[in-house]
Amino acid sequence: MLEGGEGAGKSTHAQWVRDWLRARGRDVLLTREPGGSPLAEAIRELILRDWDDGMPPLTELLLIFAARAAHVHARIEPALSAGTDVVCDRFVDASYAYQGAGRELGSASVAALEKLVLGSLRPDLVLVLDIDPEEGLRRTKHRGEENRFEAETLQFMRRVRQAYLDRAAEGKSRYAVIDAARSKDLVEADIAKILEQKWPV
């Protein structure tokens, strides 16, 4: 799974990881959250939409886990059962970072939903693409059209970043933090080293 704040390059590097695995003869599903299946993509549209009266943080969290439940059922579990590797642009760590820390809901509500929706399902590896929130938000503005998460405050994104770093520090066996402020080639070189250690040829 690839995680990180806005502008860290998750989507680009997720495609690169997929290609790296396929080049080594592995079957790979590349997907994303929120979204990844037809029902989950429909819920994604609700989540990212700017509502006139806003979206309560708890509503956002519940919608994201509703999308995740649909995604896991329709795409992730069948892929894993078939022996296919799953590369996902965001997964459950994003809920701890964005809703738990960013929205200040805390980790307990996220953990309860994680247990309900995912059971014992956990990623084998989480690549945290770390970038200073100011630089990340600058990148998203440079891209043009923003969604409501990319339009969040710098303080919000700082809480998100710290949550990712805290989770990585607590779970070093499954997490790797990568400096995503550097060039694409340097980031991919670091990712390749991590993948080669995890899945040597």
Tokens (6 digits) for 198: 């995890």
Which pLDDT score, from 0 to 100, does residue 172 have?
A: 83
Angle of helix 154-170 versus helix 133-143 axis, rounded to 10: 120
Average pLDDT of the chain is: 94
Environment class of 200 (CB within 10 Å of its CB; exposed 0-12, middle 13-18, buried 19+): exposed
Which pLDDT score, from 0 to 100, does residue 199 have?
A: 79
Cα(147)–Cα(47) distance, integer angstroms: 10
Give me the amino acid identity at 116: L
Lowest-confidence range among 18-27, 47-56, 105-114, 192-201? Answer: 192-201
Query: Does 36 have pLDDT greater than 90?
Result: yes
Domain boundaries, the chain: 2-198
For tokens 């956990």, name the residue. 122
- Which residues are paired to 129 by β-bridges? 4, 178
Of residues 190, 134, 182, 122, the one with CA closest to residue 161: 134
pLDDT digit string, tens, across residues 64-91: 999 999 999 999 999 999 999 999 999 9
Give me the amino acid identity at 195: L
- Alpha-helix runs per DSSP H in 28-91: 38-48, 57-71, 77-81
Cα(94)–Cα(103) distance, integer angstroms: 12
Which pLDDT score, from 0 to 100, does residue 146 have?
A: 64
Cα(85)–Cα(94) distance, integer angstroms: 20
Can you tell me the mean pLDDT for 129-155? 82
For tokens 């590896």, name the residue. 125
CATH superfamily label, 2-198? P-loop containing nucleotide triphosphate hydrolases (3.40.50.300)
Cα(2)–Cα(129) distance, integer angstroms: 7
Cα(169)–Cα(167) distance, integer angstroms: 5
Which pLDDT score, from 0 to 100, does residue 201 have?
A: 63
Query: Does 151 have pLDDT greater than 70?
Result: yes
Exposure of 65 in the CB half-sphere (CA atoms within 13 A): 21
